[in-house]
């Protein structure tokens, strides 16, 4: 039956017009607050073919993404998100951690990279270093906590205490034991550093950030790690013999093992957030599981869990807080092919796989004066496409 016969010749234009008027009454930030995608996204830039930050701003906001994590404090990115309501985590790279021990250097860094953008750009967290305990640089490890303390004190001196958190992101290999989750414990060589860091996080009310990749476990032992368990697919799960809690996916087990390790050092007041997780869509021949199908399955099922506001078995009432890695495939990242293929999107804005994240990457840069008009047009186009699909 023809669409006009099903709905009447006047009904469809009326519905279209109503949708357009409704969207026209909404500002960028109102739409973002009302319908924000409940995930954060890591925006890495180790590539030579990425769109400009101004275009990326349109892409992320058309997806209704409300949280973005950077590995630096790129002024072009922060400027591109002025007055958008998007929340940012900015980073101090490992190469600059030792310098931040000097209170004057920490203060200067904040005055240059954070203070000029507040409050128009919502910078809510600073990560001091990334996966510091993964390497063998003892000087870097020793500098981490003093650098975090200097940054925290500088924020307080500049009147930003309580507005911007200070923390650091860890690799999961800080764990000496992670199974069963209740037996989670930090590596013995990490504990002397971790104990005072946890005390600092507790005092500052800052989160503990962990980078979790079930893919690595599957890649290392595909014959013994059930694919369903790492991809959030139906399975019997694994029961922790100590707590009797059942885990139907590896990510939640990893997070709860970190909670157990923190508790073993005397802290129960620190939230654990997943600062990175993802799955590569392509890899080298010896990289088991790095496929388009598995990547889409992992991210798609993870999104469903987040939208359900699920917590882990140990903390079921606390929804998991996740930053997906990464926004784009990054063609200059070193290492195996998988490292360059974690993106949700190709650099031209085409989705790598379909998990329901609709976005619009404009073909050119726009001035701030035309930001709202172009974003509104993108939202209208997405709404029209959704209406058309619902009527087909």
Catalytic annotation, pick one of 5, 276, 287, 307: 276
Cβ contact 275:69 at 8 Å: yes
User: In sequence order, what E strands does the chain have?
Assistant: 37-42, 65-69, 87-92, 122-130, 165-171, 175-177, 185-186, 208-211, 238-239, 246-247, 272-277, 322-324
Identify whether the C-beta of residue 82 lies closer than 8 Å to the C-beta of residue 378: no
Q: What angle do CA 131, 44, 85 make, to 5 degrees?
A: 105
293 is catalytic: no
Task: Give the active site residue among 35, 87, 95, 131.
Answer: 131
Q: Bridge partners of 345?
A: 328, 351
Place of tokens 């809690």: 245
Closest C-alpha to 92, from 45, 125, 137? 125
Contacts of 120 (CB under 8 A, 6+ apart): 82, 83
Among this protein's residues, is 287 annotated catalytic? no
Structure tokens given for 351: 């989705």
Strand 208-211 relative to strand 185-186: parallel, antiparallel, unpaired? unpaired
Rounded distance between C-alpha atoms, residue 61 and residue 225, angstroms: 37
The residues that are catalytic are 131, 276
């Amino acid at each position: 039956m023809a669409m006009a016969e099903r709905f009447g010749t006047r009904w469809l234009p009326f519905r279209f017009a109503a949708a357009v008027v409704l969207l026209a009454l909404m500002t960028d930030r109102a739409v973002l607050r009302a319908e924000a995608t409940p995930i954060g996204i890591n925006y890495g830039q180790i590539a030579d073919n990425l769109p400009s930050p101004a275009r990326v701003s349109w892409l992320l906001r058309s997806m209704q993404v409300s949280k973005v994590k950077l590995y630096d404090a790129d002024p072009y990115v922060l400027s591109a998100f002025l007055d958008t309501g998007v929340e940012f985590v900015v980073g101090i790279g490992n190469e600059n951690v030792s310098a931040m021990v000097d209170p004057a250097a920490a203060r200067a860094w904040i005055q240059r990279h954070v203070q000029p953008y507040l409050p128009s750009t919502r910078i809510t967290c600073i990560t001091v270093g990334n996966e510091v305990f993964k390497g063998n640089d003892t000087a870097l490890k020793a500098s981490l906590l003093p650098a975090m303390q200097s940054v925290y004190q500088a924020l307080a001196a500049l009147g930003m205490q309580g507005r911007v958190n200070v923390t650091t992101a860890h690799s999961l290999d800080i764990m000496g034991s992670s199974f069963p989750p209740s037996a989670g414990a930090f590596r013995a060589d990490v504990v002397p550093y971790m104990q005072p860091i946890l005390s600092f996080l507790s005092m500052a009310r800052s989160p503990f950030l962990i980078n979790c990749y079930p893919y690595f476990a599957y890649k290392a032992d595909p014959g013994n790690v059930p694919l369903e368990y790492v991809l959030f697919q139906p399975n019997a799960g694994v029961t922790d013999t100590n707590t009797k809690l059942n885990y139907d996916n590896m990510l939640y087990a990893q997070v709860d093992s970190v909670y157990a390790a923190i508790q073993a050092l005397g802290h129960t007041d620190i939230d654990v957030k997943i600062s990175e997780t993802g799955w590569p869509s392509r890899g080298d021949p010896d990289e088991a599981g790095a496929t388009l199908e598995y990547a889409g399955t992992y991210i798609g099922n993870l999104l469903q869990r987040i939208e359900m506001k699920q917590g882990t078995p140990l903390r079921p009432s606390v929804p998991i807080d996740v930053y997906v890695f990464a926004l784009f495939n990054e063609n200059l990242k070193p290492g195996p092919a998988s490292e360059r293929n974690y993106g949700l999107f190709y650099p031209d804005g085409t989705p790598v796989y379909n998990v329901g994240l609709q976005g619009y990457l404009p073909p050119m840069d726009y001035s701030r004066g035309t930001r709202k008009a172009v974003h509104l047009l993108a939202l209208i186009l997405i709404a029209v496409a959704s209406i058309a699909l619902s009527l087909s």
